[in-house]
Amino acid sequence: MTTIDLHRLTGAYALHALSDEENTSFERHLAGCEPCAQETAELSATAVRLGLAVAAPASPALREQVLRRITAVRQETPGTPVRVLPVRAGLKARLLSRWALAACLAAAAALGGTTVWQHQQAADARAEARRASRSAGEIAAVLAAPDVRTRATGLAGGATGTVVVSHSRDRAVFVVSGMARPPGGKVYQLWFDDGGTMRSAGLMDPGRSDQAVLMQGGVDGASGMGITVEPDGGSKQPTTRPLALMALPG
């Protein structure tokens, strides 16, 4: 299976429509492909929300119909523009971009100390991209786990939150939609409830109303979760009354 083929499996992976061999190959691919990891996480989160909103059971023949029709639909590679270049032209463009990047780096080398600072900035950016890619891949893996369980709740201002748990992976994801921005200098912090003791599970992005957050730490031993408003950077223990408390799905 080629890399181009793997790029086009994000939707099928999110819908559990891959064979065991394809699933294994695609999960290896996810670890090193940030666009696919991000798209898979978004598709999986959407599938969870749609699944929660639909109560009618699907017919037994639905999966076969979808798989039969999907073979006739071409999925574009994540991150590509609407106007797709021919393969040979695309390769030429990538090679030119690499030459341009090399020329820019060579010119920057003449700037002495500035070059060191630029190199550190680039290294920090690459490290952040790798962390984001790993997080997106882990979110996708939790949402696609065969033992996944979900529980939804209403939040202030009409927002909705869903906690998605996979005990086989010992991880949880919090999917939120329509969340209002926190007050200035504040951030939403997630917590695990370990028998009455609150354990930090990470921070939400204050600039996004819709997001899927990989909760930090394992779910084993936790009976529930909560959300509080904390100072920017988070707190070691909750300092405000919870906006929401909910039991984890069994």
Residue bearing tokens 């999907």:
70
Which one-letter amino acid corresponds to residue 145?
Answer: A
Domain edges within the chain: 1-140, 149-247
pLDDT in tens, the chain (250 residues): 666 577 778 777 776 677 788 888 888 887 888 788 877 777 766 666 555 544 445 556 665 665 666 555 555 555 555 454 454 444 444 444 544 544 544 544 444 455 454 445 555 555 555 555 566 778 888 888 888 888 888 888 888 888 999 999 999 999 888 999 999 999 999 999 998 899 999 999 998 888 889 999 999 889 999 999 999 999 999 999 999 999 998 7
Phi, psi of 175 (to 5 degrees): -110, 120
Contact 144, 30 (CB under 8 A): no
Question: In this structure, how many other beta carbons lie within 10 angstroms of the beta carbon of residue 176?
Answer: 23
pTM of the full predicted structure? Answer: 0.53
The CATH fold of domain 1-140: Arc Repressor Mutant, subunit A (1.10.10)
